[in-house]
Amino acid sequence: MAAVLGKLGDRDPRALVRRVREARADVREVRELRERVQRLEAEVQECRALNVRLAELTDVVTELLLPVASRDEERLAALLERYRTSV
C-alpha cells in the first residue's frame, strides 16, 4: 500500500479511500439498475401477453353481442377456439 501511495505523490490517502468507496457504490448501483431493468422488461412482456389475451376476449365478446342474423358462426367458433387454447 505504501508503494501505491508513494506513486500518487501528494494525494491524500483518505481521499483515495473515499474515491474507491464511491466507485464501489457506483458499481453496486449499476448492478442494481441492471437487475431492475431485467425485472421491468419481464413485467412489460407479461403486460403485452395480457393485452393480447384481452384483445382476443374482446373480439369474442363483440362477436357474441352481435345480433344472431349478422353473426359469423364460423368466425365465432374460430375466435372461441383460439381464446380457449391461449388460456
* pLDDT per residue as tens digits for the range 8-45: 555 788 888 899 899 999 999 999 999 999 999 999 99
pLDDT of residue 61: 87
Q: CB–CB of 27/60 below 8 Å?
A: no
pLDDT at 10: 58
pTM of the model: 0.55
C-alpha cell at 40: 421491468
DSSP letters, 22-83, are HHHHHHHHHHHHHHHHHHHHHHHHHHHHHHHHHHHHHHHHHHHHS-GGG--HHHHHHHHHHH
Task: Kindly list the domain boundaries of the chain, sorted by start residue.
Answer: 2-86
**What are 17's three cell numbers?**
479511500
Percent of the chain exceeding pLDDT 90 equals 43
Contact between 58 and 83 (Cβ < 8 Å):
no
